[in-house]
Amino acid sequence: MSVKKNTAIQNMRKDVEIMSELILGQLRELDNLLTSGELCMESEKKKKFRETEKTIDEYEIKISDEFINIISLHKPVASELRMVIACYRLSINLERIGDMALKILRILLEIKQHPNIKDFIDEISNMLTLTNNMVEKSILSLFNNDIEYAIWTLKNDDIIDEINKKMIKKIIKKNRGQLSDSQTLSNFINIKIIVSNIERMADQATNIAEASIYYLKGEDIRHSDITSVESELEKPSSDKNE
């Protein structure tokens, strides 16, 4: 590997790591907000949250440019190519997670005064905590070469989907007969948006896990059944063009 190519790839990887830390920090802030039960955030923290989201967007653009430059200027071989593609895919999904986190924060702070939200705080918090773990483990699977973390993330996506379905059913059941009331209907819609966005963040984590597996094993498992994929992943990988 040439010095320039190695430097370019390492710089891209470092930027993705920084972007990942920013995202995980945002998710921790959301988790703390929910576990506090108060749904209140100091103005300085809100300002920092929004500023961090802008920084995340800037990193996504920077990493995209780095990806294009590495492909066009340095002609990476197989394993290098998989790394930069995985990092690029990771950055795209991280940016989407950041958008969703900001949307969840806005809604939580807007509806904090409405009593209906408090009936679901614990469940939303548990759902967010599991999703945060999925995001973190999917990132670690790439940077720590840990395929088990990637598989764990993929398996837990079904759990999040099930929690999402149960939450929606519970919300409908609890508010049955009251949805004609404008405030109750607004609360219902907002809670649904929150849990749906958490579920979508979990989907982004699975995308990151799939990108990690692509890098580590050279297998594109998108749209595949994880139960049929696990045995295949146990086989040793080979980098013919490394």
Q: Is 242 helix (H, G, I), strand (E, B) or coil?
A: coil
Residue among 104, 133, 113 at smallest CA distance from 33: 104
Query: Left, alpha or beta for 138 (phi > 0: left; psi -120 to 50: alpha)?
Result: alpha
Question: Which pTM value belongs to this model?
Answer: 0.87
Distances (CA, A) of 220 to 74, 76, 85, 233: 24, 19, 12, 11
Where helices occur in 37-77 by DSSP H, the ranges are: 43-69
Res 162 pLDDT > 60: yes
Model pLDDT, residue 181: 63
Q: Which long-range contacts (CB under 8 A, 24 or more apart) does 17-20 make?
A: 17/143, 18/59, 19/56, 19/59, 19/60, 19/63, 19/91, 19/94, 20/90, 20/94, 20/139, 20/143
Model pLDDT, residue 207: 95
Model confidence pLDDT, tens digit, residues 165-215: 888 887 777 766 655 566 667 777 888 899 999 999 999 999 999 999 999
Model confidence pLDDT, tens digit, residues 15-41: 999 999 999 999 999 999 988 877 788
With cut-offs at 50, 70 and 90, classify the pLDDT of residue 237.
low
Residue 132, burial from CB neighbour count under 10 angstroms (0-12, 13-18, 19+): buried
Res 240 pLDDT > 50: no
- Report the distance separating Cα 156 and Cα 37, nearest Å: 25
Res 79 pLDDT > 70: yes
Domain ranges of the chain: 3-233
Question: What are the tokens at 173?
Answer: 């059941």
What is the fold, at CATH topology level, of the domain defined by 3-233?
Answer: Methane Monooxygenase Hydroxylase; Chain G, domain 1 (1.20.58)
With cut-offs at 50, 70 and 90, classify the pLDDT of residue 218.
confident
With cut-offs at 50, 70 and 90, classify the pLDDT of residue 146.
very high
Residue 38 DSSP label: S
- Report the distance separating Cα 202 and Cα 172, nearest Å: 23
Q: Is 188 helix (H, G, I), strand (E, B) or coil?
A: helix
